[in-house]
Structures are given as C-alpha cells and as structure tokens.
Structure 1
Amino acid sequence: MRLRDLPAIVYVIIAIGFIFLPVVVLVQFSFQDGILPVPPFKGFSTQWYERVFDNRRLMEALWNSVLVGLLSSLVATVLGFLAAYGLARSRPRFAGAVQYLLMAPITVSYLIIGMGLLITFNMSGIGKSLLAIGIGHVVINLPLTFAILYSQMGEHQANVERAAHDLGAGDLQALLLITMPMLWPALLAAFFIAFTLSWDEFVIAFLLSRFDVTLPVIIWSMLRSGLSPELNAVGTLVFGVSILLALLVEFALRRGRRTK
C-alpha cells in the first residue's frame, strides 16, 4: 500500500462504517434478551423473531407485500419489455418524446404520484386496496424496467432476429424463442429491482391502503408506539430480503455480461 493511497482508504472505511453501522446496531439488538433495544446488550435471544412470526398482523402485511411486489413487478417488467422492444425495433418518428414520457415518473416525487393516484382512483370509484397499491407500484417501476431493458437491446440482437425471420420464424416465434432468451438476464434484473423497490416502498402504500396494508406501513404504525426489539427483528428481515434481491440482480447482470 502506497502512502498516497491512505486518505482514500480511510475515506472508504469511514463511508462504509457510516452506511452500515446503523444496520449492524439494528441486527444486533434484534437479538436483545430484553424489552428495550438499547445498550448494554443483555444477551442473545431469538424470542423477538418468534414473536414476529407469531404476529398475525405482521404476517398478513408480509404476505401483502410479497403479493403486491410479485404481481406489480411482473406487470412492470412485461410492460417495460414491450415498450422497449417497440421503440428499439420500430423506431417511430416520435420515439424520443415517447421515451421521455415513459421515464417522466422517475423525476416526480412518490408523494405527488401517490396523491395523483388517490384523486384519480376516487374519481374512478376505485377504493383504497392492494390493487390500488399495485397499480401505483407499476407506475413507479415501469420507467426503471423500461430503461434497463431498452439499454440491453443492441443491433446484434436485431440481426439475430432478422436471421430468424429469414429462416421462416414468425414475429411471435422470434420474440419468444430468440429475443427473450437473449435478454433473460436483463429481464430478471428488471424484475428483481422492481420487486425490491415495491418491497420497501412506503409513501404510495400508505396513501392507497386502508385495511389491507403492506409491511412498511405496519412497521410505521408499530414505530408510533416506540422502539422495540420486535421492530428490530422485522427491520432485519426486511434488510435481509433486500440484500438477497440485490445479490440476485448482480448475479443476473453478471450472467448477462458474460453471454454477450
């Protein structure tokens, strides 16, 4: 190690510590053998995780988050793929404007999107529900899935599709047997990123839910009563799922780079 590299190394260590120290404390005190998640650490116990899995409201909220995340991510990925494929292959005259409109929700606050959806649903007669939350999550995740998939549609794939057409394949056959297999790492990455964002999203879920709530909303309601090791246990589980999804995204992207 060279002396001139020391400041950069120290900076990286401090930055990593600043980011992960709260997470370490969260995980540590989720195993606290006491009723308060504060120092000193009183011993190792898994009782709070047992309470989490015995808590019916938490389990229902967990299932709601999984259901909304899976379905909204699937819809966002399919719509993002179709939009990206259409723009990349047909190249319409106003492709730039269409691309801008598809990406526009990224520049808008989730609070504004949630309020707009709430007003729209009230005017349409759609009540607060998991369906409303799912639609909201499709709105915020569609630009990301579109951007990921559009960036992976290169000219080499178009050439392979043209070769398939020359050999007698129809449009649907080329799409299902050529395009999608070549893009499967990007499709998985887009799906997992959308699920991760849906899994952690609070503002839209809070505005568009009433009785059936997602996990971030139930965590917020529990926080109003104060901190507890049970909340730390829930937070640790949420963090663990997010890390797992991030690793799956990285794995999919690495496989995609290797196949190019």
Structure 2
Amino acid sequence: MTRLLAWLYLLLAYGFILLPVGALVLFSFQDGRLPVPPFQGVSLRWYADVLGDRDLMAALLNSALVASGSSAVACALGFLAAYGLARHVLPGAALLRAILVLPLAVSTLIVGLGLLIVASRLGVGLSLWTAGMGHVVINLPLCFAILYASMGDQQRNAERAARDLGASEGQVIRLVTVPMLRPALVAAFFLSVTLSWDEFIVSFLLTRFDVTLPVEIWSMLRSGLSPRLNAIGSLVFLVSIAVVAAVELVLRPGRRP
C-alpha cells in the first residue's frame, strides 16, 4: 500500500510538472489559428511558419550567442574567483564571498535597471554586448557558488602532490584542478546557459534592435495567442532535452568524452 501511494504521488507530481509542457506541444500541431480546445487536426504549418520567420530565427541565434558567450565568461570568472578564495588566505575573504553571491538575492529587475543606468552614464549603446554583460553579472554568482563548493580537500591534496612533483602553478591548474572540476564546470556552464536563455528582464532592458528570443516572444504575445508561440516553445524544449541528454552521455561514469 505504501509503495502504491508513493507511485501515485510520483505520477501526480510528474503530471503536474509536465502537463503544461504537454499542452504546449500538443497545441503546437493545432491546425486552427488559436492554441485552445477543441483540437482541430494535426498540422505542421506553424513549425514551417516559425522556421521561415527571419526575425524569429535571428532572435533565436542571438539568444544562443548571448547564452553561450556570457555563460563561458561567467564560468571563467567564477572559476578564477573560486580558486583564489579557496586556495589562498585573503583578508576579508568572507566578505568577498558574500559580495560575489549577493546578486543571487537581488531581483533581476534591480540588476537590469542598475546596468541600464551605468550604460547610459558611460554612453554605451544598448546591444547584444550589453545584454551579454548583464547575463554575466546574474550568472557569475551561481558559477562561483557551484565551483567554490566543489573545491574540497581531495582537489587540494592532488594539487599539493602535483607541486611536490615539480609542476608549475599553471600546470597544476590546467592538468589537475580543471580536469577534477570538469563535472562542476559543465554543470555551472549549462545551468548558466539555461538561465541566460530564459532571461527576459535584463535582455529587454539592455537591448534595442538586436533582441533575444524571450523579447521577441514577448512582442509576439502583444498581438494575442497563436500556435506559432507553441511551436517556438516546443522547439526550444526539444533543444533543451537534446542538450541535457548530450551532457548526461558525456558525464556518465565510466565513459570518456
């Protein structure tokens, strides 16, 4: 009986989580012009419409560039900060750690408005570059927290052994620290990509003409619901599933990339 209740709870939980995604995918094949019941037949017209929309594809490419670029920079900066604070005794280290993770507790609206004010005062034009810098600001604390938590005694002992064998500091980082932190680095990067991909407020405030996909979807929503939006969401969901599956295969124990 307990096992039956556990399975029932599990099914209800997964159903609650996946029901919106299922409805999104289902009505992306809607033949009618509104993604609402009743279902009016199967059609791929909205997928063809989305893939043929140049503005939408440009926004999709912009999102991919901003997400991947900002996540790579955030991971690199987060690794350097985590390595410095975990391996060296610095004055005010606790305060520095608190400052680095502080943006996690601040609303992205506040972060975006602050960056917009700074860009305006410095005379920096709004573009994908400013949006990318904003995404680095909101993703850096997350990358730092993941990497700092992963730098335990095991890595420290391996680094000490490498130095005793004559390795330079650069060789220790390149040949010991980074390989041992590979799962944490990959997790931090792809989690940052996911958050950056979905970020709307910072992208909306810090872009002007070259917009990202969430901003483009918001502009489409202003004209009402459409199965095109469902098709876009389904494609993004499919890409996300493919990326997660690829990462799982790469990081699976016993396999070499």
TM (norm. structure 2) is 0.93
Q: Secondary structure at the match of 2:151?
A: coil
* Aligned residue runs from structure 1 range 82-161, under 5 A: 82-161=80-159
Counterpart residue number, 1:200? 198
* Alpha-carbon offset, residue 9 of structure 1: 4.0
Q: What is the alpha-carbon root mean square deviation over aligned residues?
A: 2.0
Counterpart residue number, 1:210? 208
Provide Cα deviations, 1:58-112, integer angstroms capped at 9, x if missing partner. 0100010011011100000000000111111003232111111010000000111
Q: Which amino acid aligns with 1:21?
A: L
Provide Cα deviations, 1:195-230, integer angstroms capped at 9, x if missing partner. 111111111101111100000000010011111111
Q: Does 1:169 align with 2:167?
A: yes
TM (norm. structure 1) is 0.92
* Alpha-carbon offset, residue 246 of structure 1: 4.3
> Identity of paired residues, percent?
60
Choose which of 39, 42, 52 in structure 2 pairs with 1:41. 39
Q: Does 1:66 align with 2:64?
A: yes
* Alpha-carbon offset, residue 245 of structure 1: 4.0
Note closer, same or farther for the CA distance 1:248–1:143 as it changes in structure 2 (3 Å cut). farther
Gaps of 5+ in 2: none
* Alpha-carbon offset, residue 248 of structure 1: 5.1
Provide Cα deviations, 1:98-140, integer angstroms capped at 9, x if missing partner. 1110100000001111011100110111121101100010001
Counterpart residue number, 1:230? 228
Q: Which amino acid aligns with 1:162?
A: R
* Contact 1:185–1:255 under 8 Å retained in 2: no
Aligned length: 256
Distance 1:48 1:200 in 2: 22
Note closer, same or farther for the CA distance 1:252–1:96 as it changes in structure 2 (3 Å cut). farther
* Contact 1:114–1:204 under 8 Å retained in 2: yes
